[in-house]
Structure 1
């Protein structure tokens, strides 16, 4: 079977790229520049897969999903958008999209997703013929709450997709991530976009409570008002337990019982209480290592770890820093009733090179500090707190003494020294040696900065996409 693929995008260049790629792969397809034309065509024929932009004049991608699924709910949708945020990902999955592609994307990967969607279509049609089932799609939850989960990096797009896929389930979720990466925001997003939205979201941070008081805060004291405990407050909603790695062993057994039976008991009581809560937990530590040491209950770990998500540290997605700083500076300005500050390019490059041990939280606090302390509109390198400048100097000092000396030279001076050394050594044809190495360094640094997004890298380098692809092959880059 050769599936029929429809591509809908008001951008002629996107349609052109898909046209060529699908032709090369011998895949049947039709191109539409708007959703209205596609809806007219679907009255006469049915596609196997639809690839559609989300933001288009007239009917947008989400409205198109609704309209098409009224005709055939089993047509897989692949949503494309340049607006790579959590809301777009959640909306796309809530409306029933098969996959979500943030622009820019690799066309070969897009074709691979299309093939998977086509196989999915075949499987669904077989299932329909076997079961003759009724329509199972639930109405999407209208949820537009603001969130601070921001990022265009591939790692964060994976987080957005995860939230879109699992928010509708009621299973426990275990969130892994360093302190300050935004584990609480992910937990709140799972709650907001799930069936328990509108109900209580109760967060309890185990590391901030004295160990002897944790059991009372979590399960309640029968001698006092047990309705004030975290589980009781979260009834019908979500209980988020942060830093569960610090949960005392006796509390671990009690929490395991809650997950196994849906019941818990107050401290000093034997009466079981029914609880209707979804449990989401987070940790900044390796729980399996704690199990090996005997400080974490293995049964509890496996109960919690049914679904897990890893949030990357900021240093591993530093290409999100420009977007994050813009957001946090605007937010700080709004809170302080002042004009938003602006980072100079020098400061932005400097920030992208820092290790960020405090992750996104540290960046947000820096933006608040700069909004208050910097008098002008433009933030210069000298405006950064001394600890940030010191952190960079410490990183530099870890290099060899020769490298430290060279850091005061411009790259042009260092290149001139290299040329002088080559000429004095009697070498020839040095330009043919230098240019490929120069291009290789430029390519590797740019691809790392963009998270290996080739189209974005080509733009930053001032090349066309074909030129970048050719250079990658010439220089044997992975």
Structure 2
């Protein structure tokens, strides 16, 4: 059962004292809750089996099925539901035992209005939070097999953590990074982890469409708006209403489309081509670019006001050369994927193959690695991917071992690991020689790598 604070909370009141039960029912109905009542544990159990609930408020001492029995049944049938126990004088010890078994709280009779309302309200808040966390974990599990979401490098995990943090908000997000780093996968992750996951996800590549077509694709048009417009067409903004619109290569927008996009961000409305009637939409916008938009600002190619609207949260997706420790993980993932897809029996990637992949500079990022592994699987003849299965640009690549390029913003921990990796490549894996060149102990290299 999925629950959020935005729903009208549904609570079940259980008490064999009918007058007290009716008093509680009036109290919680007045507070705006959806209320179900039961005069016995047996009646309550029947309701618990058929009705999705948020909280159960039950008397502790009843007949055949008492409050402790109900607590156990609730936690078995609807684990996310919170239980508050009502206890009379002399049964407080049992109520405390109930909390040890999973009850959220207990209140003593005679019931005070403020006390019971506070306990139930806090129990509902906890229930909503637990349900939200479980839904989040379930959606994360569904995303776990995405190739660009495979990795353990610090740069990659930092980007992933930021995605998870902003996903549940409604703010606009700008994903920056080179082509092939998987920006659309990260956009889809933001969508999947958001409160809009049940609504549409619509993706548009702004660089793939001419300006005239892009405008009509985004905002739609009325019949007769231009030659060939024989009927009304709904644009991508309307198609994404209530959900998420992903605009890839946002740096390619023309000035005219930038103005129209700015209005949607500011006012939440636009007009279809050929119409003067505003159309209201509720869309969460995620954008991506491989360009430096600040350079585009200086060159006069991108509006400053639009830039600051889009760049509320900027998440940089690291290039593959900044997450080289993820290359073996990604290579194994793609090997498994394409040997299944092509029904090939391939046991492994050879050590020489992995060394070559770890040495290459990956200008095409993860997309290039995927294509190379797919090619190797298709062309392999002996059941093991080796150097002869890799293209020449990989096998003939000779890195400049004299210099290391370190992008600004790289953490000291990443720099340290990168220097150690590159020095080990230079020494052919000789850790003692690498330690001597770096003026550190061999033990330090073993600990860090």
TM-score (norm. length: structure 1): 0.56
- Asked which structure has the greater CA Rg, the reply is 2
Q: Write the deviation string for residues 88-133 of structure 1: whole angstroms up to 9, x where unpaired.
A: xxxxxxxxxxxxxxxxxxxxxxxxxxxxxxxxxxxxxxxx9xx999
Counterpart position of 1:316: 322
Spell out the pairing of 1:137-286 with structure 2 (5 A cutoff): 137-138=128-129, 139-140=131-132, 141=135, 142-143=138-139, 144-146=141-143, 147-148=146-147, 149-223=149-223, 224=229, 225-286=231-292
Mapped partners of 2:332, 2:435: distance in 1 = 36
Mapped partners of 2:171, 2:369: distance in 1 = 32
Q: Does 1:458 align with 2:444?
A: no
Instruction: Give, in angstroms, the shift of residue 153 of structure 1.
Output: 0.7
Counterpart position of 1:336: 342
1:434/1:230 CA distance change after superposition, 3 Å: closer
Q: Is the 8 A contact 1:145 1:192 kept in 2?
A: no
Q: Is the 8 A contact 2:247 2:286 kept in 1?
A: yes
Instruction: Give, in angstroms, the shift of residue 212 of structure 1.
Output: 3.0
Q: Which runs of 5+ in 2 are unaligned?
A: 1-78, 85-117, 224-228, 405-425
1:437/1:208 CA distance change after superposition, 3 Å: same
Q: Write the deviation string for residues 418-452 of structure 1: whole angstroms up to 9, x where unpaired.
A: xxxxxxxxxxxxx9x997437649689x6xxxxxx
3-state SS of paired residue (2:277):
coil
Mapped partners of 1:238, 1:213: distance in 2 = 21
Counterpart position of 2:310: 304
Q: Is the 8 A contact 2:221 2:234 kept in 1?
A: no
Q: Does 1:295 align with 2:301?
A: yes
Q: Is the 8 A contact 2:206 2:214 kept in 1?
A: yes
Q: Is the 8 A contact 1:332 1:340 kept in 2?
A: no
Instruction: Give, in angstroms, the shift of residue 228 of structure 1.
Output: 3.8
1:388/1:226 CA distance change after superposition, 3 Å: farther
Counterpart position of 1:380: 386
Mapped partners of 1:150, 1:258: distance in 2 = 35
Instruction: Give, in angstroms, the shift of residue 338 of structure 1.
Output: 2.3
Q: Is the 8 A contact 2:222 2:232 kept in 1?
A: yes
Instruction: Give, in angstroms, the shift of residue 246 of structure 1.
Output: 0.3
1:171/1:222 CA distance change after superposition, 3 Å: same
Mapped partners of 1:382, 1:344: distance in 2 = 11
Q: Is the 8 A contact 2:346 2:384 kept in 1?
A: no
Q: Is the 8 A contact 2:163 2:315 kept in 1?
A: no
Q: Which 10-residue stretch deviates more, 262-271 or 242-251?
A: 262-271
Q: Is the 8 A contact 1:330 1:341 kept in 2?
A: no
Mapped partners of 1:308, 1:395: distance in 2 = 32
Counterpart position of 2:356: 350
Structure 1 outlier segments of 4+, above 4 Å: 131-134, 394-399, 441-444
3-state SS of paired residue (1:203):
strand
1:394/1:162 CA distance change after superposition, 3 Å: closer
Q: Which runs of 5+ in 1 are unaligned?
A: 1-65, 72-127, 400-409, 415-430, 447-456, 461-478
Instruction: Give, in angstroms, the shift of residue 187 of structure 1.
Output: 0.3
Q: Which 10-residue stretch deviates more, 217-226 or 378-387?
A: 217-226
TM-score (norm. length: structure 2): 0.60
